[in-house]
Amino acid sequence: MKNFIKQRDGPARYTMLEIKNKKVKTPNIFFINTNRFKAPDFSDITISNQGKKDDLIVLYSLENKTEKDNYYIIQDAYQLFLNPKNFVDFIIKLRQKIGEEKTIYMPSIGNPTNFALMAYMSIDLFDSTQAIIAARNNNLFFTNGQFNVKDLDEIPCSCPICSKYNGKTVDMSFNKILNHNYHVFLNEIKNVRNSIKNSSIRELVENRITAHPNLI
């Protein structure tokens, strides 16, 4: 895995990642791809522990890395994220330790409400864990949070899933909710990349934080 920084906006980086002979823009999302949860067709990169073709199989923790490795996985990211101050301190120290060229993958906690902030902190890769957990709880993700289908009379979304759905919101199936969430994840990570390229990532972060002050 090789990472080439194309543009910066403060600590945030727009990069081109070479992974298994494929070039991928970052920040980006590893979409989980298993027999139970199939990655969407629009995935740039997928991740699995089942040896699926074309997946990047990641079975390592931060402690297993050596200096020659080009990427780091943040172990126990969810627990770390529960304390915002410790989380910020950890990311700053990690980036200082590994340098600017290394790729950081933060599993399990990335979602449309915090992609911008995490990218602003120089984190490069996320995954679709939160999209799956939300769908299991019948929650639809938006950039201002997640909402249970029973609390929405109308779906404020025109993604390919929602624009074709004519039933009651409360009757949406798990697969429809999940695929809606996947589209929202994709759209927001594109927003993040565009903001970095346009030198406006700070404005996007401030917009997202107004809905989630706990991220500060």
Other CB atoms within a 10 A radius of the CB of residue 165 amount to 17
The pLDDT assigned to 50 comes to 61
Residues 6+ apart with CB under 8 A from 58: 30, 47, 49, 73, 105
The pLDDT assigned to 59 comes to 36
One-letter identity of residue 26: T
The pLDDT assigned to 27 comes to 97
Tokens of 78: 């969810």
The pLDDT assigned to 81 comes to 86
Average pLDDT, 10 consecutive residues per value, the chain (216 residues): 89 90 92 93 86 46 48 86 88 91 92 96 96 98 95 95 95 97 98 98 91 63
The pLDDT assigned to 209 comes to 85
- Fold classification of 2-207 (topology level): TIM Barrel (3.20.20)
Cis preceding linkage at 84, omega within 30: no
Q: Please state, in angstroms and rounded to a whole number, the distance separating the CA atoms of residues 181 and 111.
A: 9
SS3 114: coil
Domain boundaries, the chain: 2-207
